[in-house]
Amino acid sequence: MTNVPEMFGSKVFNDDVMKKRLPKDIYKALQKTIEDGMHLQLDLANVVAEAMKDWATENGATHFTHWFQPMTGVTAEKHDSFISPETGGRVIMEFSGKELVKGEPDASSFPSGGLRATFEARGYTAWDPTSYAFIKDDCLCIPTAFCSYSGEALDKKTPLLRSMQALDKQAIRVLRLFGNTDAKRVLTTVGPEQEYFLIDLDVYKKRPDLMYTGRTLFGSRPPKGQELDDHYFGKIKPRVAAYMKDLDEELWKLGIYAKTEHNEVAPAQHELAPVYTTTNVATDHNQLTMELMKTVATRHHMACLLHEKPFAGVNGSGKHNNWSISTDTGVNLLEPGATPSQNAQFLLFLVAVIKAVDEYQGLLRMSVASAGNDHRLGANEAPPAIMSVFVGEELEDVLNSIENGLDYHDKEKKLMSIGAAVLPHIPKDKTDRNRTSPFAFTGNKFEFRSVGSEDSIAGCNIVLNTIVAQALSEYAEVLEKADDFDQALSDLIREEIKAHKRILFNGNGYGEEWVKEAEKRGLLNLKSTPEALAQFSEEKNMEVFIKNQVYTKTEILARQEILFENYYKTINIEAQTLAMMARRNIMGAALTYENRLADLVVAKKASGAKVSTDAEEALLGRMSYLVSELSSRLEKLNEDMAKEDAMTDVCELATYHREVIEESMHSVREVVDEMETIVPLDIWPYPTYGQMLYSVR
């Protein structure tokens, strides 16, 4: 039987290991360095490195790497062995403090958005001691930040840590105004729910589109999809259950709090949810989770699909980012309290989040924009591209009462006076969840449902931390100057509710009525990635990052360029893959069936039997039409793709791929998907949706 407590964190150089292996004075000095956010002194680093190396080699590690998260969307690592030459042709195992705290990988081939020239190869990695080192594939992995020779951030971790620092600073200012002197730090915590698909590996290998792009570029809907809702929370198939057990154990060894697993709505779709942890650690853990999902799936002769929309016509996959704010003393600042003073504090933090989402809705939408997510946002299982906040009927009534200076009566007829004692106790889960809302308050946290399943959660949390920090900063400036704190607090909350209530929406986010209502309210509806990415360089949006020292202007423009480039290159790869599959195999299958039909018609007529060939000739006519259409539409796609060569601006290229290339691809797909419903399976070259979605039994 698996001993989970013993297994958990067995591959992690965690706090317990450090306590056992480091001298007490070194351990205390390291903890103080981490708490104060200071650089680790070299003499301390040498002791830590030696202990880390001894622990790693005892657990089978032969190499170490600075594990970082460049702007590719995946992690990166360069392995170095611990060996150092000795006299007599021997080696010893060594690892220095210098090697621990700083690395120098070649940065020349990572996306930089113009931050450095291609020939400028130097880049640096710096240890993030707030995220534990771990062993993966017999290699000691040290979580690190990654920056250029000139100091600009080239990764996702650096700005995430900066954003956490910004929110910490402003939240502490606010807490001090409430008389809280115990809290020394305020942290954001995240629990990212990860959705994914599992299909048989043999089937996967027969689909070039899945292998090259992560999604199917062709495929007609099967007779049975998710219509009966019988897969959702249904019995987990033995093969999938074995995979989930194996995955859990691998995650637990790495100290990842894998907690919940179940079948999702679509056939072959599943979900894994962890327990909450600090945002930068949760981000590291989620990157490892996605990597291990794929690795473990291969062991079980399956393929794990993390694309936001691997199959058209059935639910896509998201990554619900459950975000909250807590003090280092364990107080959740988004938990409605049981006393009036706590309630007032809760309300201020709640309204700060509402303000942040309203004022920077474009940035939030930008943070989840990608080629994959464009296929999902606004569909049946995902929130719309319009940002809005769901707080539930009761809490919205409370906010309305405060705005209008009225007494509030809840269902138990408890009276609330408006002032410093702002709220009665509000039980958690007083209202239902709203799965159509992109940003929903769910008791003591906000669930940001728009994040794509393949995305790093760093992007959306950088934005969330920064914009909430800005709101808290503005509140602190007002309240710090007040002569009467209670009255100033009451006035501020009332004014802010009134100023930002347009972003509150408790209804059906999928309905067309909401699109019209949102337009009346002046909310943004950024339907595509190019529209959303343009928000990054809006003056107001750049200013909030610069003011809170999360990004420099140069880093913003570089990231925007990288995101535009990634978007159009993704669609370009999809278009080339689609054209290759259609020309190489689908056209051949269609012609084979067309010839078979023609031969059948000729044979029937030649037989002399008085048998009608009307059905065969009608089918032959349709196939001939489809073959002709496929040829002409492929030619149109080729012509459209050729026009890209004259374009150099990344924004123009992104818009062109969205408006022209995707439309041409859709045009080709229409023909192919109809062909699939006609051509017999013994001729059709690729596994169908039915064969893929029901391949794991």
Q: Which helix (H) or strand (E) holds 390?
A: strand 389-390
CATH assignment of 566-693? 1.20.120.1560
**Burial group, residue 260, by CB count within 10 angstroms (0-12, 13-18, 19+):** exposed
- Least confident range from 27-36, 433-442, 557-566: namely 433-442
Q: Where, residue-wise, is CATH 3.10.20.70 in the chain?
A: 4-154
Structure tokens at 554: 């140069």
Q: Which CATH number fits domain 163-549: 1.10.1450.10, 3.30.590.10, 3.40.50.2300, 2.40.160.10?
A: 3.30.590.10
Q: Is the pLDDT of residue 675 over 60?
A: yes
Average pLDDT over residues 359-373: 96
Residues 41-46: contacts with CB under 8 Å, at least 24 apart: 42/97, 42/98, 42/101, 43/97, 44/97, 45/96, 45/97, 45/98, 45/100, 45/101, 46/96, 46/97
Average pLDDT over residues 594-603: 93
pLDDT value for 414: 44
3-state secondary structure of 119: coil
Average pLDDT over residues 290-311: 97
- Least confident range from 148-157, 351-360, 483-492, 638-647: namely 148-157
> pLDDT by residue (tens digit) across 192-211?
999 999 999 999 999 999 99
- pTM check: above 0.85: yes
> pLDDT by residue (tens digit) across 115-145?
655 555 567 888 998 899 999 999 999 999 9
pLDDT-based confidence at 234, cuts 50/70/90?
A: confident
Q: Where, residue-wise, is CATH 1.20.120.1560 in the chain?
A: 566-693
pLDDT value for 302: 98
Q: What percent of the chain has a predicted confidence (pLDDT) above 70?
A: 91
Q: Is the pLDDT of residue 383 over 80?
A: no
Average pLDDT over residues 56-63: 96
Q: What is the mean pLDDT of the chain?
A: 90
- 4-154: which CATH architecture? Roll (3.10)
| Pair type for strands 102-103 and 90-93 | unpaired
pLDDT value for 417: 44
Q: Is the pLDDT of residue 14 over 50?
A: yes
pLDDT-based confidence at 421, cuts 50/70/90?
A: very low
Q: CA-CA distance, 109 to 111, in Å (whole number)? A: 7
Q: CA-CA distance, 223 to 200, in Å (whole number)? A: 20
Q: Is the pLDDT of residue 635 over 90?
A: yes
Q: Is the pLDDT of residue 38 over 80?
A: no
pLDDT value for 419: 46
Q: Where, residue-wise, is CATH 3.30.590.10 in the chain?
A: 163-549
> pLDDT by residue (tens digit) across 246-255?
999 999 999 9
